[in-house]
């Protein structure tokens, strides 16, 4: 029978991007870029966010693409964020349809009509992209934030460098654990997404996963969920020191609810570890699968 440790290794690699998914993401990026370039003066575009950092979970959706506009489009930068978001939105609606192009706070979501099956598989296809208009300011970028009604600064390279550093300090297990807890967060079993945005989980993991890696997925997750529950109500700044706090995505009520769900998760893990300690391997595997969802293997 599969050991719990081997099950976690398999789980980790199931949540990893593979070649086919990357090929599909590149093809979608190319399609959207070729179209957007007919409507706006684009300097360059690149896949970014958790996708580019290897901290994206499955099923693969909302892959971020930054569209860096040329200086000749800087009139947009002088206007409220809503103007450029509206123009990108209506351009993408013309191409993909009003049911497929959805306006969000900082981006337009383009849905390709792919659905995940009951095992969270998409036949290696990307479900959707988040199209983010951006202006370059030195090494940083400014992107629209509709909720704040102003442009915010960001630096994906700094976020990526922090993730690389954490990964190195944690025996190359850090990104795998981030993908796992983001998978837990997205799991439909909750009927709700406890932590929003899920980038907050990654940001918290920069501080809540303490190096060195102790050698056991179960123990690291036990400590992690209990720390996340303790610290979810804190203010979590942008690790690059540029944008608004990442924790601003939740109000006090949502934070309190997230804390409850994280505490419950932490108690669930304590119970699963008891099964493992008693040698009830099969029960432990089934309990981890119930905890995470269908990508956690039973065999
Ligand atoms: N408040 C913020 N300030 C500065 N940059 C931010 C902020 N929030 C997000 N970002 C940057 O924008 C990127 C895209 O944001 P998003 O919310 O899609 O997170 P993500 O890391 O891609 O997670 P997910 O896997 O949920 O897509 C982040 O990876 C981060 O680099
Ligand atoms: Mg994203």
Buried residues in 259-291 as b, exposed as e (16+ CB within 10 A): bebbbebbeebeebbebbeeeeeeebbebbbeb
Nearest ligand, CA of residue 15? Answer: 1
Containing H/E element for 83? helix 81-96
pTM over 0.85: yes
Q: What would the pLDDT profile of 192-248 be if each residue is shown by its tens digit?
A: 899 999 999 999 999 999 899 999 999 999 999 999 999 999 999 999 999 999 999
154: closest CA among 247, 238, 82, 67? 238
Mean pLDDT of 100-125: 97
Question: Mean pLDDT in the chain?
Answer: 97
Q: What would the pLDDT profile of 242-292 be if each residue is shown by its tens digit?
A: 999 999 999 999 999 999 999 999 999 999 999 999 999 999 999 999 999
The answer to whether 273 and 282 are in contact (CB under 8 A) is no
User: 108 is written with which tokens?
Assistant: 């337009």
d(CA 299, CA 282): 10
d(CA 111, CA 130): 9
Parallel, antiparallel, or unpaired: how do β-strands 63-69 and 128-137 relate?
A: parallel
Q: Ligand 1: does its nearest atom lie under 6 Å from the Cβ of 17?
A: no
CA of 169 to the centre of ligand 2 (A): 24
Residue nearest to atom 30 of ligand 1 (CA): 49
Alpha-helical regions (H) of 244-280: 252-277
State in Å, rounded, how far the first CA of the chain is from the last one.
7
Residue nearest to atom 29 of ligand 1 (CA): 49
189 has pLDDT over 80 = no
Mean pLDDT of 71-90: 98
pLDDT in the model for residue 196: 97
pLDDT in the model for residue 187: 86
Q: Residues of the chain with pLDDT > 70: what percent?
A: 99
pLDDT in the model for residue 286: 98
Q: What would the pLDDT profile of 253-266 be if each residue is shown by its tens digit?
A: 999 999 999 999 99
pLDDT in the model for residue 191: 81
Q: What would the pLDDT profile of 115-168 be if each residue is shown by its tens digit?
A: 999 999 999 999 999 999 999 999 999 999 999 999 999 999 999 999 999 999
pLDDT in the model for residue 99: 98
pLDDT in the model for residue 158: 98
Nearest ligand, CA of residue 60? Answer: 1
188 has pLDDT over 90 = no
């Amino acid at each position: 029978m599969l050991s719990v440790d081997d099950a976690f290794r398999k789980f980790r690699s199931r949540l990893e991007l593979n070649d086919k998914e990357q090929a599909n993401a590149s093809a979608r990026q190319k399609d959207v870029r070729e179209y957007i370039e007919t409507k706006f003066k684009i300097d360059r575009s690149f896949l970014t966010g958790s996708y580019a950092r290897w901290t994206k979970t499955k099923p693969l959706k909302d892959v971020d693409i930054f569209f860096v506009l040329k200086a000749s489009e800087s009139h947009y930068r002088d206007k409220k964020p809503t103007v450029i978001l509206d123009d990108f939105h209506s351009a993408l609606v013309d191409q993909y349809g009003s049911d497929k192009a959805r306006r969000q706070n900082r981006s337009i979501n383009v849905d390709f009509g792919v659905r995940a099956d009951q095992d969270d598989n998409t036949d290696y296809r990307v479900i959707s992209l988040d199209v983010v208009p951006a202006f370059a300011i030195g090494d940083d970028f400014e992107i629209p934030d509709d909720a704040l009604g102003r442009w915010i600064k960001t630096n994906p390279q700094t976020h990526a460098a922090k993730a690389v550093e954490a990964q190195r300090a944690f025996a190359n297990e850090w990104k795998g654990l981030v993908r796992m807890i983001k998978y837990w967060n997205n799991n439909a079993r909750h009927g709700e997404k406890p932590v929003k945005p899920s980038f907050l989980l990654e940001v918290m993991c920069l501080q809540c996963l303490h190096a060195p890696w102790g050698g056991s997925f179960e123990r690291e997750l036990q400590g992690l969920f209990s720390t996340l529950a303790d610290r979810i109500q804190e203010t979590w700044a942008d690790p690059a020191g540029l944008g608004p706090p990442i924790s601003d995505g939740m109000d006090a009520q949502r934070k309190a609810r997230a804390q409850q769900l994280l505490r419950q998760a932490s108690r669930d893990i304590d119970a699963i570890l008891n099964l493992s300690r008693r040698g009830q391997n099969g029960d432990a595997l089934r309990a981890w699968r119930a905890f995470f969802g269908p990508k956690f293997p039973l065999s």
